[in-house]
Structure 1
């Protein structure tokens, strides 16, 4: 198991949740937990900031350099990144567009393309002083220049990849096809135009007469054309010219060949003249290939008929070449650039149209959901209008706030913090399952998710958790009588995904973790002492565990110990002041819920190290064994659960590691599990739930 979901990811966004979970599925191991800081420890693995695009989704990659390393990148035709980036560098295939970002200048260079697959240690000593040590950038790929362009300043390319920025000056290097295409379009417009200037005293080509064949069958190259060209550039092989070997990487459109020819010295050796002749012949082939692509010819290609190269000046040769194609090289270059730009714009229009179609479908779906919600709310309003005003009042006004009256407290489930699919919450809500009404109460002082909640002295205590990037040691309590929050003494250290229970007027905060390690610690809050006191630790480290009180004893069940998900469970008896093991569950589970009802303990859902599960196990302390209960209708973890009036309510959570749920399931012993039609809560995950019981 490579990750422990997005609660400990760098960004704490739902997109990051999905990307990390997809890596979880592809791995199958259970030996790491992600660190908030991106650093590793004995039981944790560092996070690499990346989008985790699949090979089909990857449209391009940006590599980094500085003024000190740029020259070596270009000279060796080799780009590299630190080893952690190999997770996506390995997806690079020949032909994939690449770009080079100079951190010193904050400029983007291109257009490059891969000529090898992404590999580790192509050059084990690259970018080091005299090869004295192993390279710090082993995730490497060999490259060639596709098109030389002016560098783009960050202000010009940032809007194109703005979604990749995770801070003011740092961005993710993976590009999807749309982003890569837009960058290519911008850089293409800034391409260095090849020179067509010929000196007045241009030398003559002295090689013997040669003729191109009148027509030949177009041959397949040994290396297949990269899929990227075929799919995204409408055979831009024909628009930009045939790509040569690595030594000809600057001759991407064919016209640089003319530059080389025009600058040959009069006294060139025969070998050089032959080479120039071959290049001019290759240019002619490229020109005809392009013409064939534009006119729709895909089979036979007719080349120039009778090109007499003997005793002709290079200037005349270039002129002949232009005349035979009824256009000058410069004019043809402009035409090809225009065609390439038009093709690119067509691709962008197609992508835009597809995106708009998806958005329209989403909006139509949301509109239908809104109409259903409006009808439901109308029914609720009609129900309340039919009830006398005195029985409708669930609070008394205290200034601008509304306080919940105590007679109604035992009809409500209180939901604390969490994530609603858009943002992390500091909200506190009261939820009435009977009327399907969600009421907003005074929010907490901070955003708080994956925290724990317990009841003490008729107040709700919320402690630990985090805001999506930071963990807390802070504690605050809520008084439902006056609808006010009060800051309380802090925990001994910052932690999240802990559990809690109240026993004999004392709150026990159990386990959890800080992103770098898992805890077995237990802290106890005594209101008479006014601080948190470290007490007897559990027998095992438990992160994302669940805990509950039953008959004066504290039960801690499941969780993650930094290596694996757990089936084990243990009980704390405050009279003996010790922890003892009880029988283990049959299913590994963390991020699950634990409630007590009718003298039994229910372990509900959670994550088993591979997937979210719907299974339920029931522990009867009188027998000392776990029994398999009826499974929920949906797999879910990170949900909130509470017992109200002989019913267990499981609210929201995550399904299949990535889908945020807005459904509520209810369990009764005589009925089993059923998905209710209650929708007032909406999507909610990483929240805590609690009820006020009659004493």
Structure 2
């Protein structure tokens, strides 16, 4: 456990959660950027879910505002009930994430400030059956930092999978509007006597429906009702809202007619008796005839013998409005057609540009293939066994920084040049995963990179990959569980403790739990499903400390300190043991070697190398450790290779094929 670190406790709508040995920022979320945020899960209990849905408001404690502020309208949201461990959805944000939209939400009587001020207004995108935890847990498995606690931030891949899973059990569409929040408009002026009885009956019927809806909502909000009853009530609310929406649409014209009629009556407008009461039907278009027929049918149902003249004027007004709406619709239709045509033209132009790019890429590939054939022919058609060889990547030869990549076979003392990287690169990190090599970070001596390249040994081809979130060098790397980890490093000014992870399924780098200490010029290695890091520079001094990351626990844990401060060193795994090789101890380059046995949890001094060296490269081939090049002291760059086998100690390989080289990377398949 890290010294001086405390357990952090936070609450989610009344439910306590804790994360041991973790800063609040890490406990509350994954620290995704706004463009990385695909969705958010909010929390509730049986006692608070009713208020979340009735107010259409979700909330979290204040420390969660670090990512709630990134919520924009339309972002998918989900609601997790801690009481029954079920996930409800699909909701979406109806506002931006803000602080204290309702300052007294989820309190007993509104006398206290809310404990959940990080809030967002919501609506329902698609009403679905809630998911039990065993169904949605595999989708967000990477978010679990304890057996029953998980981060609420979702990336785009997790959000799409959750939406797909929920949509498979959809029970209703549209935006959820609780019945007890609907407002009914009433006409302040009394209707004519022949309409009063009809309106009284309608009002009584409406009052009955509201009372029934209120009772239904009250039962749903009762904390003693089980989650299955809550789901059925929500579904019924959807059906009622849908039915009432259809009724409102049908009655809209009727309400407008009556309102205009009352206004006319209040103005006491008199009309001449010899004016023609009925408009000429021969001069009416189809829309006007429809309005006239609707009014005629209404008058028959209300047993009105004949409509007064002012009603006919209202009808003429409405028919004029219908004409204007029809003309407006036609104008909008023409605009839509124009935009659709522009879209078709744009797609054709994009297709033409893609064809041109394909032609240019083909021409470039032909040129590169010609260069590649020339390089291979100049190396006398050497065929080296990959299992007996290691790759040397980039670095510095004393005169210039290198973009080269070479295949070096120590047993034959032969080196074969391969295709170079897209740019010179030193102080970088290299990881092997699924038979391909990934090189990331580093620099050219004056600037640092955030670029990433992958190399296919089968095709002898480099491919650009998604870039890191920060430009950095002297970082460490490891590959594990189809993921690549970029660890620590710095930019010449700041030293980093941050860790980025590239998930090949998602296709982008995301931040995960940071290390316990800042580390620049550190070393890292993966062994038995766990990542180990050692030493480095924290901005003030070189470190003896070491720590490890277990992806199953999603956290870093301190392990025993080394016996010597080290930076710019190498770390390899051989026969389930870790070897820390050479490096800089704060005063000089050292030849010493330390061995860590995870079963004993201790570091032991091993046999030292023949030469002190740092900024060298090391890799394991056929149960042997090979250390290549590096800096001995000052600007003295080494051109030799040392080999170590258990029980045989260190032996120097006399070779001139590698030449002077430092700040490079070495890795074997």
Q: Which has the higher contact order (CA 8 A, sep 6+)?
A: 1
Return the index of the structure with the highest Cα Rg.
2
